[in-house]
A and B are shown apart, each in its own frame.
Chain A
Amino acid sequence: MASAGPSRRRSDGRKPHEIRPLTIEIGELDRADGSGRFGFGATSALASCSGPLEVRLNQELPTRATLEISHRPLEGVGATASRALITTLESIYPSALRLSLYPRSLIQIIVQSLSSSSAPTLSTGRYNESPEIYIDTEPETTEKNVWPQPPTQSALAVDKKEKSPNTSYNFSSRAVSINSATLAILDAGSIAMTHLPIAISIASLSDDDGLVVDPSIEEEYNSIARFGFAWSFGKNVSLREDQNQKDSNMDVDEEEDEEMELIWVESEGKFDKEKFSDALELSKIACRQILSEIRAKLGETLECKRLQ
């Protein structure tokens, strides 16, 4: 599968295919119908979901619910990076939700990033070039030189590599946004969902090195290629022929039987076809693992709040 031996350790002590400890919480916001918090280690996001609500006349759709997705960055106001993330979410959720069951209504999903957005920016050391002039209307210019910065080992080491552009979210942040939105919809419980999207980020640290699953900010910053994958889990979500025939006495929660389909891919940097397919395979395993953690955690939460 991956070219790296599983014995190799990463800078934070993890194995190459190990994900950081997950945060999975639902129902903490009182005024939203549903809310979810999801985190890979320190990278986390909080999402809320409300609906079906009364829709404004000019947004009303006669055959399905209007889905409104918004995002707020941790610092400053939403800009291009936020917009890109919203576009991602908008490509995932309409197919997972049965919007046609709620015509002429509004479903709101709001994602709040809880960790700082992108690559480290305030370079420490000698600083004598003239600072940029402050313009309030343009968050991009002010988001540079920001403190606190995510940790980096050495900024110099990445000079020649393909750097992640500062203006967009790192893949870890994108993945937590997707996962938190999924949790929020689950918690709301008022919108029918046919399959469950779960996302993961993967990075390639160097040409000959293997891939790492769920890279930390530091790893992602020093990587040569980055991938984001989201898989949707659900019976009959997949179109593949080989999963067509199934014996009819299926059980709830049977890992082998789970069907999944790739619903989101984003990648950047330098990689070849082989690396991509390796990453794709790894993402499958990681998403399955996240799904089973979500299942375990939500089972616990629901058990605590049981009424009988």
Chain B
Amino acid sequence: MVREIDPPSIQKEFLLAALAEGKRLDGRIPLEQRKIEFVFGEELGNVECRLGKTAVLAQVTASIVKPRDDRPYEGFLLINSEIGPMASSVYENGRSSDSEILITRLLEKSIRRTEAIDREALCILAGGKVWQLRLTLHFLSDSGNLLDCASLASMMALKHFRKPDVEVIGDEVIIHSPEERAPVPLAMHHTPLCLTFAYFENLSPILDPTHLESTLCSGTLTVTMNAQREICVLSKAGGTPLSVEEIMGVVRVGVDKVRDMVKIMDEALEKDRENRVVEVR
């Protein structure tokens, strides 16, 4: 691990002066997100998401396991999100930093606990066999706001993934290879996405903070929302106190942003679908 060195104090003075004029160092306006890009891998369920220079790779795989005895109809969704030194030298293998724990827990809340995936649809044979999905996140580059980037990558990977078609005859399960039957997409309830805002004393919040901005800010607020205007998670860990109006203001911004993000995702998926042969008939 290499310790993070605080930027010189003039950097903060300048950043605050710029924000007071409503300007950010990379030329964005306060509530503007960096450019979102998706790169799909060779396999279904392999997506690299770039938010400006921040990059996260998500990979979904499925396997067949026995369900829990108390939940015989439910499949599993496991999330692996360990931040390694590739993202930045301040992270260390096998030792979770505070920010890593925060990111992992928020992802858990916004993907698993919001029931984005219909887990009952993962059941193959009640009490016998269910699908277990494993979502692995690889944090490639931390140029600020890993969380939003990871949530985009995760949801995109889940949307992109397809599991093989199965057939149940009595107690026997037949798994069809993709050559025989086209694999089927996952059943999803909605697309919750994280939006992180950073706060500075007496200034209006900014969306999608860069690395420098998140180092210097006095606190962040993350809302997880879906395109149906529902707030799924609202998380504010410390920092300056906020009034109800301020939070509602942020939520209103979030409604539009999430809708735009879902649109970008759908367009990227559509483009990928045109170039990919999934159906085999």
Direct A–B touching, Cβ under 8 Å: yes
A122-135 vs B, Cβ < 8 Å mask (1 yes, 0 no):
11111110111110
List A residues 111-169 near B (Cβ within 8 Å): 112, 114-116, 122-128, 130-134, 136, 142-148
CB of B217 within 8 Å of the partner chain: no
Q: Name A148's contact: one of B43, B53, B132, B173 (CB within 8 Å).
A: B43
Q: Which residues in B have their C-beta under 8 angstroms from that of A132?
A: 65
Assess whether B96 is interfacial by the CB under 8 Å rule: no
B244 at the interface (CB under 8 A from A): no
Mark each residue of chain A from 31 to 55: 1 if its CB lies under 8 Å from any CB of chain B, else 0: 1100000000010001010100110
* A126-B129 Cα distance, complex, nearest whole Å: 14
Task: Tell whether, in the assembled complex, residue A124 and residue B61 are in contact, meaning their CB atoms are under 8 Å apart.
Answer: no
| Inter-chain contact total with CB atoms closer than 8 Å | 125
**B164 lies within 8 A of A124 (CB):** yes
**Interface residues of B toward A: which range?**
35 or more
Asked if B177 and A124 sit within 8 Å, CB to CB, the answer is yes
Is B240 an interface residue when CB atoms closer than 8 A count as contact? Answer: no
Given contacts A50-B89, A131-B129, contact A31 B64 (CB under 8 A): no
Q: Choose one: B57, B141, B171; the contact of A32 (CB below 8 Å).
A: B141
> Are A128 and B45 closer than 8 Å at their CB atoms?
no
Q: Which residue of B lies closest to A133 (CB)?
A: B66
Complex partner residue of A53 from B44, B53, B89, B163, CB under 8 angstroms: B89
Given A122-B175, A136-B78, residue A31 in contact with residue B134 (CB < 8 A)? no
Distance from B125 Cβ to chain A, minimum over Cβ atoms (Å): 10
Q: In the docked arrangement, what's the CA distance between A131 and B76, Å?
A: 14
Asked whether A128 and B136 contact (CB < 8 A) given A29-B141, A30-B53, A30-B143, the answer is no
User: Given that A48-B86, A54-B3 are known contacts, is A148 also in contact with B45, CB under 8 Å in the complex?
Assistant: yes
Q: Is B88 an interface residue (CB 8 A)?
A: yes
Is A30 a contact partner of B141 (Cβ separation < 8 A)?
yes
Distance in Å: Cβ of A293 to nearest Cβ of chain B: 20
Q: Which residues on A sit within 8 Å (CB–CB) of B86?
A: 29, 32, 46, 48, 72, 110, 112
Q: Which of A73-81, A90-98, A222-230, A266-274 contacts B (4 or more CB under 8 A)?
A: A73-81
Is the beta-carbon distance between A127 and B64 smaller than 8 angstroms?
yes
Q: Are A112 and B140 in contact (CB under 8 A)?
A: yes
Q: How far does the alpha carbon of A74 sit from the alpha carbon of B174 in the complex, in Å? A: 27
Known: A130-B66, A147-B164. A31 touches B88 (CB 8 A): yes
CA distance A110 to B57 in the complex (A): 15
Q: Are A145 and B63 in contact (CB under 8 A)?
A: yes
**B143–A134 CB distance below 8 A:** no
Q: Which of B41, B45, B141, B176 contacts A114 (CB 8 A)?
A: B41
List 16 interface pairs A-B (beta carbons < 8 Å), by A numbering.
A28-B55, A29-B55, A31-B87, A31-B211, A50-B89, A70-B93, A112-B57, A112-B138, A124-B164, A124-B175, A124-B176, A125-B177, A127-B172, A127-B174, A127-B175, A132-B65
- Interface positions of B (Cβ within 8 A of A): 1-3, 41-46, 53, 55, 57, 59, 61-66, 76, 78, 80, 82, 84-89, 93, 129, 132, 134, 136, 138, 140-143, 163-164, 171-177, 180, 211
Known: A122-B64, A127-B173, A134-B65. 4 other contacts (CB 8 A): A31-B141, A106-B2, A144-B63, A147-B62
Report the 6 A-B pairs with minimum CB-CB distance, sorted nearest first: A124-B177, A30-B53, A110-B86, A134-B65, A42-B42, A145-B63
